[in-house]
Amino acid sequence: MAKEIDLMERQRRLAWFLIVPAVLVVFLVIGYPLIQVLVYSVLKYKLDGVTPPSFVGLGNYLFILTDSDFWHAVAVTLIFSVFSVTLEAVLGLTVAMVANSKFKGRSFLRIAILIPWAIPTVVSSKIWAWMFNDIYGVVNVFLTNLHLIPQKIAFLATPITAIPVIIAVDVWKTTPFMSLLLLAGLGLIPSDLYEAAAIDGATAVKQFFSITLPLVMPTLLVALIFRTLDALRVFDIFYIMVGGQGNMATMAIYNQQWLVSFLDAGIGSAASVIILIIIMIFVVLYTRFSKTSFQ
């Protein structure tokens, strides 16, 4: 008995010892910037080197929340996030399961599936933008040569065609992230579970729903959380492919515009805080949904 309690105590102490340094590191790095963002968000502060900052309370927040451009950006970001994360999860799991299977050339597959994630975003976005070019792009050339479309389409010129293209490119680029995490997660599932199920006569589909999915769910959830965080903050891919088109700005582009282009640290910081809150809402939703708790 005493030995057990002693063990618990040692474990408890060790836990503190292991957790605190990591948390401290993160605090120290992000602490000052975080405070700065919060402070600036309640100031009217133009970075022109001349105007001194002044306190405006919630003025910046009100400006943003009544700005139709902001809500438009939120809509674009949400549509993008929902579609790309869903597609990436489904495709990622599929690819992970294929890569998990035993077959010839699976090593090659495992390397190949990581390539899109490995190419720098600025480069791959440019490649895709070029491939969708309205006159020289391979996509247009291909489709017109096969007579699938009557004439070449300027894909990136309007939201109706541009946003699906951007989602497709993002799915191409980020599915590897999901696949890799899920592949590791699949490895946690003991193979004898499948053997036992097969002996009991369960079909592959049933095995998937009763064994694979539940057991990979925790990993899937973590992957989803991080993917969603990134999707809600998407910047590079939109910026490079559709540039400053106002009707296709994302929340991060809106944020950057106010902070950097318009030199307004007050509104820029307030926008950051609002974006943070929106992201937090998603995280809370995820954890409510998850059956595993972290307590």
Partner 1 sequence: MKEEDSKSPILRMLFYLLVVVILVFNLFPFLYAIVSSFRPNADLFSTDLIPKAFTLAHYDEIFKDTRFVTGLFNSIIVAGVTVLISLALGSLCAYALGRLPFRFKGPVLYIVLTMTMFPQISVLSGLFVMLKALDLFNTRQGLIVTYLIFSLPFTIWVMTQYFRSLPRELEEAAYVDGASPLEVFWKILLPLTVPGLVSTGLLAFIAAWNEFLFALTFTVTDQMRTVPVVISQFSGATSYEQPWGAIMAASMVVTIPLVILVMIFQYRIVAGLTAGAVKG
Partner 2 sequence: MLRCVGPLFLLSLATTNGSGAGVTLHFTGDSSGDSGTFTKALIEDWAQKTGNKVEIISRPNDATATLSQYQQYWAAKSPDVDVYQVDVIWQGICAAHAVDMKKYVKSDEVSQHFPRIIENNTVNGKLISIPWFTDAGILYYRTDLLEKYGYKEPPKTWEELADMAKKIQDGERKEGKKDFQGFVFQGKASESVTCNALEWVYSYGGGTIIDPDKKVTINNPNAIKALQTARSWVGTISPAGVVTYGEEEARNVWQAGNAAFMRNWPYAYATGQDEKSPIRGKFDVTVLPKGGDSGKNAACLGGWQLMVSAYSKQQDAAADLVKFMTSQESQKKRALQLSQFPTLPALYSDPDVLAKNAWFKNMLDVLKNAVARPSTVTGADYNQISTAFFQSVNKVLSGGQSAQDAVQAVEKVGKRLVR
Residues 14-53 that bind partner 2 (CB under 8 A): 46-50
State how far the Cα of 254 lies from the Cα of 261, in Å rounded to an integer.
10
Query: Total binding residues for partner 2 by CB under 8 A?
Result: 24
Q: Cα 54 vs. chain centroid, distance in angstroms?
A: 35
Q: Is 207 in the site for partner 2 (CB under 8 A)?
A: no
Among 257, 268, 271, 282, the residue binding partner 2 under the rule CB under 8 A is 257
Degrees (nearest 5) of the Cα angle 85, 132, 116? 45
Nearest to residue 207, comparing CAs of 223, 222, 196, 221?
Answer: 196
**Closest separation in Å from C-beta 31 to partner 1:** 9
Residue with Cβ nearer partner 2 (90 or 260): 260
Q: Is 260 in the site for partner 2 (CB under 8 A)?
A: yes
Among 42, 85, 96, 156, the residue binding partner 2 under the rule CB under 8 A is 156
Q: Is 214 in the site for partner 2 (CB under 8 A)?
A: no
Residue with Cβ nearer partner 1 (56 or 124): 124
Q: Is 158 in the site for partner 2 (CB under 8 A)?
A: yes
CB 216 within 8 A of CB 182: yes
Q: Is 290 in the site for partner 2 (CB under 8 A)?
A: no
Q: Is the dihedral of CA 265, 267, 268, 270 positive or negative?
A: positive
Residue with Cβ nearer partner 1 (49 or 160): 49
**Closest separation in Å from C-beta 100 to partner 2:** 41
H-assigned helices in 103-256: 106-112, 115-118, 121-131, 138-145, 159-186, 191-199, 204-207, 213-232, 236-242, 251-256
**Interaction site with partner 2 (CB under 8 A):** 46-50, 133-136, 154, 156-158, 242-247, 257, 260-263
